[in-house]
Structure 1
Amino acid sequence: MLTHIPASTVIETFGLTAVTYFPRTAGGHLHEPTARFLSCVGLPENSFYSPRLDLENQASPRLSNSPTLKAHFEADGAECPPEAEGWEVLGGFIYATVALDPRDGKIYAFPEGEEFYVPMHADVSSLVHSLLVLEQGKADYKNLPHDDEGAAGAEAAERMKQRITEVDPTPFASADSEWEKLFEEISFGMWG
């Protein structure tokens, strides 16, 4: 079940121009709660995640018209795992392609240059919740004292991780996850 996140919270945090909405289409094959969330709440964009992989293409994104993960891999000359061929490209997270399984709404990360994938989120609401926590944490981080050899940054990172895992433990379930890598950098003071 998706976490309730008011669309107004996403807009207030990221700004209207940084939120991408995905219109629902008749006969769409997307998991119904996921389709509803993407059309009403949308996906925010920040310095870590973007739902717009092709900024040259000004057309409104539509998951049913976007390239499948297989097409995305083929464009890069790579081979897509067979079980993921019908997944949809949902965006990019730092150095990973983010994909959505349209049957159940689960989200996976494909690290750049790799053909393996790691579960990233249980659903789109978890992704948005995590991005909200990250954005709010980034603002708080700027106000921390930075003269104690990174202890304040490490504590802030730990608080953010806790807030994220309260909703969904998936982002930190694997040492290979993109979230784990990002938070390692944050705890070492490489943020700010």
Structure 2
Amino acid sequence: MSTTDTDVGGAVALTEVELDPYVTHAATRRWMAEPGLLSDGTLLRFDTLREHGLRRVADLVGEADRIAEELCDQLVIGALRSLDRDLEPIVLDGATGEITSMYVHRNLSPVDFLPLAPSLGALLRFTAATEELADSRGQFASYEGRFGPKAVGEASRALAAVFEEHVGDGRVPPYWRMAALIRPLARIAGPGDGLVLDLPKRLLDEEFGAGGIMRFEDVDFPPALTHEPTRRFLREVGLPEDGFLFQLETEVPLPTLTEYCLDVRSGDFTEDQLPVGAAGLIRLGHLIEDAGLVVDGTTGAVLAWSETDTTLRPLNTDISTLAFTLWLLRREKSLDAEHHLSSAYGQLAATVIQTLAQIDPVACAPTPLSDDDGGWRYWPEIFEDQAGGVLYA
């Protein structure tokens, strides 16, 4: 089913002949013929139409016995995205115009289809609304500069209302339901002074419990920690002792990475295994996957040091976005317990990662820090690992 599509202003437009015989739904045919579908976006991409044309689900999967017979002739028209990668194919029912996403298991279990939108027009409206909220433009322009719990709640309800308006039975598809619940969490904090974020007072205390937050004194800081905004954050805001994926070091005054490896862990590491500048890196605690969490004492950058391959990699821009990440994970788990979001785990992971990337691109951008880095990033990898299941309530 190859096509000779037309590229109109960045949109992929198909001719009437190319839409035959599988796309018979009149409104869908009009959308796909003119104005066409934007080839590449933040949440969706349709440039697969340019690359492959319309493809039947049966042709893509290859093993027809994994698909119900009535689904074999449905059409793959694009893909949901998770930052720089495809998440799941977008599938069109050419007769009804309904849109689903398709999850192809690696084993021989059946292919899963999840509702995505009642029509192509609704799908594009849902996408536009989500992107407009993230950028504070269009129908969400009034949210520019608004932060805090009240702004989060109002934005969540407003985005959900957009979805509900275009779903006849009021049952918002899982992907958009989690978007309405999680994407607005990026508005919890405004810009900080010397740090990316100014977290609302007591935000961490309310989420983790006042007894679960550790605040430091100057005596706890090694001389190498000269970045004053980081020192102030650790004194006044603090960090959760148990951030689920992160365990804060509370037994001894904060050591440099050199002190930790050569003194506390004497015999486990040699000096030549330490990264350049290890004496200026302060170890705050450890992450799962045998990684230490360190902060650059001069710049305030937060990094992960792998004890397995002794490689230093970016983790978060600074201590405020680290705290946001731990808070976001905790909120997601609470929302999952209430709304069962993890039944669509891949979509949930993509939504959490997109929310984190909006606040802290460094945490998700696979830009190598060194020759050994390779672009592996802790938070996206750990969130996407369904077997590890860190997003389950």
Range class of TM-score, shorter chain:
0.7 to 0.9
Match of 1:69 in 2: 257
Distance 1:125 1:161 in 2: 17
Match of 1:190 in 2: 389
> Are the counterparts in 2 of residues 19 and 42 from structure 1 also a CA contact under 8 Å?
yes
Q: TM-score, normalised by structure 2?
A: 0.42
1:41 aligns with 2:237: yes
Consecutive unaligned residues in structure 2, runs of 5 or more: 1-193, 367-374
Per-residue deviation, 1:128: 0.3
1:32 aligns with 2:220: no
Equivalenced residue count is 179
Per-residue deviation, 1:143: 3.3
Match of 2:306 in 1: 111
Q: 1:69-98 deviations in whole A, cap 9, x for unaligned?
A: 012222232421122232110111212100
1:92 to 286, 309, 317: 286
Q: 1:76-122 deviations in whole A, cap 9, x for unaligned?
A: 32421122232110111212100111101001101232211101111
Distance 1:158 1:39, change over 3 A: same
2:377 to 159, 162, 177: 177
Per-residue deviation, 1:5: 0.5
Match of 1:5 in 2: 199
1:121 to 316, 321, 332: 316
Distance 1:152 1:179 in 2: 19
Please tell me whether Structure 1 or Structure 2 has the larger radius of gyration of its CA atoms. 2
Distance 2:325 2:340 in 1: 24
Q: TM-score, normalised by structure 1?
A: 0.82
Per-residue deviation, 1:27: 9.8
- Identity across matched positions, percent: 27
Distance 2:346 2:282 in 1: 35
Higher strand share: 2
> Are the counterparts in 2 of residues 90 and 100 from structure 1 also a CA contact under 8 Å?
yes
Match of 1:136 in 2: 331
Distance 2:335 2:306 in 1: 28
Distance 1:145 1:36, change over 3 A: closer
Q: Mean alpha-carbon deviation: is it higher for 72-81 or for 8-17?
A: 72-81
Distance 1:27 1:73, change over 3 A: closer
Match of 1:22 in 2: 216
Q: Which amino acid aligns with 2:203?
A: T
> Are the counterparts in 2 of residues 89 and 99 from structure 1 also a CA contact under 8 Å?
yes
Q: Mean alpha-carbon deviation: is it higher for 151-160 or for 93-102?
A: 151-160
Q: 1:26-55 deviations in whole A, cap 9, x for unaligned?
A: 995420111111101101122211112x6x
Consecutive unaligned residues in structure 1, runs of 5 or more: none
> Are the counterparts in 2 of residues 20 and 43 from structure 1 also a CA contact under 8 Å?
yes
Distance 2:301 2:214 in 1: 19
2:275 to 56, 71, 81: 81
